[in-house]
Amino acid sequence: MQCRLCQRVARALSPVSGYRVPKYYDTWEQRSVKLGSWQELQENQSCPTCSLIAVLFNTEFEKHGSNPKSVDYEFYLWDVANSLMTGISLRLESESDTFWPLLTINPLSEGFSECRGVVMDQDWVDIERISEWIKSCDTTHGKCHCQIFNPGESFPNRDMYLISVSRNCLVKANSGNRYVALSYVWGAESRQFRTLRANVTSLRSEGSLSNTEVQDHLPDTIKRAMHFTSLLGLDLLWVDLLCIVQDEPVHTATQINNMASIYSNSYLTLCAADGIDANTGLLGVPQCSESRNIHQDTLAFTDGLVTSKWVRWMYGGSVYDERGWTFQEKVLSRRILSFTNHGLEWRCQKVVSQEQDLSARRPASTYSDLSIVRADTLWPCLKKWDNLVASYLERRLTYEEDILRAFSGILEALNGSMTGGFHFGLPQQFFDAALLWVPSEPLTRRESFRNGIAKPAPPSWSWAGWKGARKSQINAFGLGHVRSNLMMDLIPRKRDIFPLVTWFKLDMDTLEKAEIPNNYAKYQANGLEGTVTLPFGWSSYLGRPVLLQIS
């Protein structure tokens, strides 16, 4: 028997009560159902649901250092169509409102349409559901699994290896290969098996990866990735530890510089965000790993209504999300299946789906979302570059000299739209603007020592030369040359910025000087003056957004 607070929630969602998804114009009162006070909720220990809610809310308050006393406890209805949140939510009204989005699992009656939650298997992933995500994307999302940028390049290059999971060996990549790419945390490297010059030939022999000597030292995450690839009905897998010849400098450099193509052209990227090293990721894969032990908080408001707390931040606090090298792997991928400590997440160009949720959400907008392949890279976007750098600098690197190498795939992907490419991580087309960064916290010079030998650091004028966060005010004029951008047309123009300095760079080996093509003003002037000469077959149209005024 449920308490009266839980019964109020049940009545609010009952079709008999006339429940409907609220509209965007509804008032706060029309969206909310008062359940009682925070004190009343805490004192209601005889109800298991209220007791669990009190414990979970208290955990949140302790985490954020807040201490609510006289606050209201509410049931809140969200507008699903116009919100990133789910349809219903618990809310504590305090100085910093605490919302708990919920997913309804069981209906109160037949025909109840708001059931979106799923009770997850706490031990094993659902291969059938994963296959449904992939199939739905393949058949309904158009170009999600097609090449996005650099269509004229030669890919794959002739030195690229893949793992054939059916033959248990390395094979040469061919054009049109459908392969899975693995993104994971390396961790300690001492006993990991890897491809070297001494064994690369033997590893191309069928069955070589199933040898006892290899299996005993091959990281568990890689073995699980191989098995999982076969469960999906696929055969080819790319893993850096095996597909890059680790002690061959030329091959290593070529593949690292090719990261943008490797991850953007993969049929699917498998993200082991649940692992702290190369042996602990991809838990819950049937027949090849230990169980994953997923915890899911479910609240039973009545016998007919069970809800699950919606986990919005699937990656929060994971080692994977703190590592520098995994950043570009995640950003460059077009389709990602992530194993997290909160369940599975599927993310493609069209939707984001989570294991606990039957529905699918739209990805974030082009400029707030960090994924390169979801952005329009046909024109240079300084805002996109700036956001990527800011997020990347929050990550950690084992070797500080990798600061630009671990970001090189992203720079390669942006190269097509940035005239002149990049110089120590700064876009040459916007060079003076990119120099205008300032520290947002105390910085330390980026230094690196390997085997007691100091490695050269990037120059002090580059963001890559320092450890710590920085900020810039370059976003607003970074799109000044794109005059058709709706947001730029709506923002009043306070200033026009033009370069006054000609910049040069010096080749330290040849001592040759070359001009940096800091030419954004040329494109900006074309947009302002409208005098650009159009290519043959093109026509220009002047358009302005229509602003509506409601009297």
Residues 383-442 have pLDDT tens digits of: 888 889 999 999 999 889 899 999 998 998 888 788 889 999 999 999 988 998 999 999
Average the pLDDT over each of 132-136, 308-312, 423-427, 445-449 and give the range with the smallest value: 308-312
What token pair was written down for 45? Answer: 């220990």
Q: List the one residue out of 8, 17, 124 whose CA is nearest residue 76.
A: 8
The tens digit of pLDDT for each residue in 138-156 reads: 998 877 766 554 544 556 7
H or E element, residue 90: strand 88-93
- Using the 8-state DSSP alphabet, how is residue 87 labeled? S
* The most confident of 161-170, 334-343, 360-369, 500-509, by mean pLDDT: 161-170
Give pLDDT, residue 151. 43
SS3 of residue 141 by DSSP: coil
Residue 252 has pLDDT above 70, yes or no: yes
Q: What CA–CA distance (Å, rounded) separates 512 from 266?
A: 39
Give pLDDT, residue 160. 94
Contact 39, 95 (CB under 8 A): no
Residue 381 falls inside a structural domain: no
Give pLDDT, residue 404. 94
Beta partners for residue 268, in sequence order: 180
Residue 102 has pLDDT above 60, yes or no: yes
Residues 135, 51: one domain?
Answer: no
The tens digit of pLDDT for each residue in 264-317 reads: 889 999 999 999 999 999 999 999 989 998 888 888 887 666 777 766 666 667
Q: What CA–CA distance (Å, rounded) separates 384 from 401?
A: 24
The tens digit of pLDDT for each residue in 49-101 reads: 888 888 877 777 777 666 665 566 666 665 444 444 445 677 776 655 666 77
Q: What CA–CA distance (Å, rounded) separates 55 from 68?
A: 13
Q: What CA–CA distance (Å, rounded) separates 194 from 242?
A: 5
**Range 463-474 average pLDDT:** 88
Average the pLDDT over each of 160-169, 200-209, 454-463, 523-532 and give the range with the smallest value: 523-532
- What secondary structure, in 3-state letters, does 167-233 show? CCEEEECCCCCCEEEEECCCCCCCCCCCCCCCCCCHHHCCCHHHCHHHHHHCCHHHHHHHHHHHHCC
Residue 537 falls inside a structural domain: no
H or E element, residue 137: helix 127-140
What token pair was written down for 397? Answer: 């690197």
Give pLDDT, residue 83. 42
Residues 247, 336: one domain?
Answer: yes
**Range 200-229 average pLDDT:** 95
Q: What CA–CA distance (Å, rounded) separates 11 from 248?
A: 67
In sequence order, which ranges of 244-361 are alpha helices (DSSP H)? Answer: 249-257, 259-264, 324-332
Residues 291, 182: one domain?
Answer: yes
**Per residue in 452-473, is it b (16+ CB within 10 Å) or e — as a string?**
eeeeebbeeebbbbbbeebebe
Average the pLDDT over each of 14-23, 41-50, 254-263 and give the range with the smallest value: 14-23
Q: What CA–CA distance (Å, rounded) separates 256 from 406?
A: 8
Residues 331, 449: one domain?
Answer: no
**Tokens 């570009």 appear where?**
328
Residues 400, 360: one domain?
Answer: no
Residue 109 falls inside a structural domain: no
**Range 531-546 average pLDDT:** 62
The HSE-up count of residue 175 (CA atoms within 13 Å, CB side) is: 5
Residue 196 has pLDDT above 90, yes or no: yes
The last residue of one of the domains, among 46, 70, 104, is 104
The parent domain of residue 191 ranges over 127-299+312-373
Residues 248, 362: one domain?
Answer: yes
Torsion of CA 108, 109, 110, 114, to 10 degrees: -30
**Averaged confidence pLDDT in the chain:** 79
Q: What CA–CA distance (Å, rounded) separates 223 from 245?
A: 19
**Range 527-532 average pLDDT:** 59
Residue 323 falls inside a structural domain: yes
What token pair was written down for 277? Answer: 């090293």
Q: List the one residue out of 407, 269, 421, 422 whose CA is nearest residue 333.
A: 269
Residues 66, 198: one domain?
Answer: no
Residue 233 falls inside a structural domain: yes
Q: What CA–CA distance (Å, rounded) separates 414 from 397?
A: 22
pLDDT band at 261 (very low <50, low <70, confident <90, very high): confident
Residues 284, 347: one domain?
Answer: yes
- Identify the residue with better confidence: 104 or 429: 429
* The most confident of 110-124, 433-447, 471-485, by mean pLDDT: 433-447
H or E element, residue 163: strand 161-164
Q: What CA–CA distance (Å, rounded) separates 12 from 16?
A: 9
Residue 492 has pLDDT above 60, yes or no: no
pLDDT band at 535 (very low <50, low <70, confident <90, very high): low
Residue 385 falls inside a structural domain: no
Q: List the one residue out of 433, 547, 431 whose CA is nearest residue 490.
A: 547
SS3 of residue 389 by DSSP: helix
DSSP letters spanning 420-440: T-EETTEEGGGHHHHT-EEES
Residues 294, 401: one domain?
Answer: no
Q: CA distances (Å), 135 to each of 73, 79, 130, in order? A: 42, 29, 9
Give pLDDT, residue 127. 95
Beta-carbon contacts of residue 503 (< 8 Å; ≥ 6 apart): 431, 432, 515, 516, 518
Residue 476 falls inside a structural domain: yes
* Angle at the Cα of 133 from the Cα atoms of 79 and 372, rounded to 5 degrees: 80
Beta partners for residue 98, in sequence order: 92
Residue 543 falls inside a structural domain: no
Q: List the one residue out of 293, 281, 377, 376 whose CA is nearest residue 326.
A: 281
Residue 455 has pLDDT above 60, yes or no: yes
What token pair was written down for 499? Answer: 């370069």
Give pLDDT, residue 141. 84
Q: List the one residue out of 400, 542, 401, 383 whose CA is nearest residue 477.
A: 383
User: Residues of the chain with pLDDT > 70: what percent?
Assistant: 70
Give pLDDT, residue 375. 46
Residues 264, 364: one domain?
Answer: yes
- What secondary structure, in 3-state letters, does 26-72 show? CCHHHHEEEEEEHHHHHHCCCCHHHHHHHHHHHHHHHHHCCCCCCCE
Residue 490 has pLDDT above 60, yes or no: no
Q: List the one residue out of 372, 392, 391 whose CA is nearest residue 381.
A: 372
Contact 126, 137 (CB under 8 A): no
- Identify the residue with better confidence: 159 or 480: 159
**Range 311-330 average pLDDT:** 82
Residues 210, 354: one domain?
Answer: yes
**Tokens 């000087």 appear where?**
513
| Backbone phi, psi, residue 179, to 5° | -130, 155
For the entire predicted model, the pTM comes to 0.82
**Range 19-25 average pLDDT:** 55
Residues 157, 34: one domain?
Answer: no
SS3 of residue 307 by DSSP: strand
Rg of the chain over Cα atoms, rounded to whole angstroms, equals 27
Number of domains in the chain: 3
